[in-house]
Every structure is written in structure tokens, then in C-alpha cells.
Amino acid sequence: MQAIMETAFDAVYLITVITLGVLMIFRSRGNRQHLLFGIMAVTLGCGDAFHLIPRAYALCTTGLQDYTFALGVGKMITSITMTVFYILLYHVWQLRYGKEAKRGTTAAMYLLAVARMVLCLFPQNGWTSEVPPLSWGIVRNIPFAAMGAWVIVLFYQEARKQRDEAFRHMWLTIVLSFAFYIPVVLFSERVPMLGMLMIPKTCAYVWTVCIGFNDMRRAQRSTAG
């Protein structure tokens, strides 16, 4: 039952975010913000696919224990692409609110991203181990959490300041994604059921993508009208 339900959920998720991302790319009509949002959505879906597809295959065949290497490598790739996702989301913030000149903020965001990706490449992470060390799971997520917190603050402040109704909940989607993700990182090895929190975390990311897609549709309807 787990194999069927989880595989179906993951398939719907991947198809949804990648499809919406591709539609945004091809329908952006020269709008850099919508084009970037589309690239961001495709990056999210394709990156997660490296972990979710091997996981679905494992669940539907002989079990997760027989695919430790593939799952570990997929998880590492997903961790790196999620970092890219937040860099792209930061640039969406810049484009939407006219903050492209903030070089100091951009440099700091990239520094955190590079730190995160470099930490993900250390062999001490034990990606392909049956029980990866918790300490490195925490260490590599420190710069990632800092990026997320920063993006939350940036979107919250500007959406309120500019009364941006379309993006008023963007900050909340990121808060929810981290709220569901952090307990999994910290406690899922001891309490496996906490892995279920990845479902609402995934839903939060779908919400993020839908906000961008719906904004593009509203903007284009407004232009056509």
C-alpha cells in the first residue's frame, strides 16, 4: 500500500511542478520574472526526481534497503538542486520588487549557497551509507536554513510594503516547507514516521509554484483585457 500511495503522490507532484514550470517558460512572453520562476519550478521537479524516482522503483520492487547507493546519490543531487532553487527564488524577489542593485545581499546569498553545496559534497555526509551521520545532516543544512530564513524575511517585508496580494503568502509557503523539513532531518532516524512530514513539505512547494503560475496568468489576462 505504501508503494502505491507514495509512488502515486510523487508522480502527481513531479508532473505538476515540471508541467507548470515548462508552461511558464514557454508562456513568459519576455517577462524575465515569469521565465525565471518557470526555470525554478523545473529545477525543483527535475532535482527531486533524482531521489523520488529511485525511491519509487525501490518501493515497487525489492525495497529501499537494496537501493542505498542510488537513493543516496539522488538525495545528494536533490540537496544541491534545492540550493539552486532558493537562489532562483531570491532572483525572482529581485526582479519582482526592483532589488537587482543589492549586490551585498546577492553576494551573501551566493556565499551561503556555495557553502551549502560544498558541504553536500563532503564524503563525511555518508550519502550512500545505510545510516548517514546526523551531525553532517545538521551541518550541511545550516547555510540552507539561513538561505531559507533570509528569503522568508525578504518576501514578507516587500509583499507587505508593496501590498502585493499575489505574493502575500510566498513567505508562508517557505516557512511551512522548512517547518516540515527540519524535524525529518533531526529525528526521522529515531522516529521513522516523521518521514511522513515530507508530504506536507512537498505540498508547500507545489503552493509556491502555483503562486508564480497564477500570477503569470493574472498578469497576462490583465494585459489582454
Q: For residue range 82-121, what is the model confidence (pLDDT) as tens digits?
A: 999 999 999 999 999 998 888 889 999 999 999 999 999 9
User: For position 224, what pLDDT does the model report?
Assistant: 66
User: For position 97, what pLDDT does the model report?
Assistant: 95
The pTM of this model reads 0.94
* Structural domain range at position 175: 2-224
Instruction: Please enumerate, as own/partner, the contacts of 125-129 that have beta carbons within 8 Å and a separation of 24 or more.
Output: 125/76, 126/72, 127/72, 127/73, 127/75, 127/76, 128/68, 128/69, 128/72, 128/73, 129/68, 129/72
Contact call for residues 21 and 208 (beta carbons, < 8 A): no
What is the tally of structural domains in the chain? 1
Q: Which residues of the chain have pLDDT under 70?
A: 224-225
How far is 209 from 168, CA to CA, in rounded Å?
14
User: For position 225, what pLDDT does the model report?
Assistant: 60
User: For position 21, what pLDDT does the model report?
Assistant: 98
**CATH code at position 166:** 1.20.1070.10
How far is 216 from 166, CA to CA, in rounded Å?
10
User: For position 223, what pLDDT does the model report?
Assistant: 75
Q: What is the CA radius of gyration of the chain?
A: 18
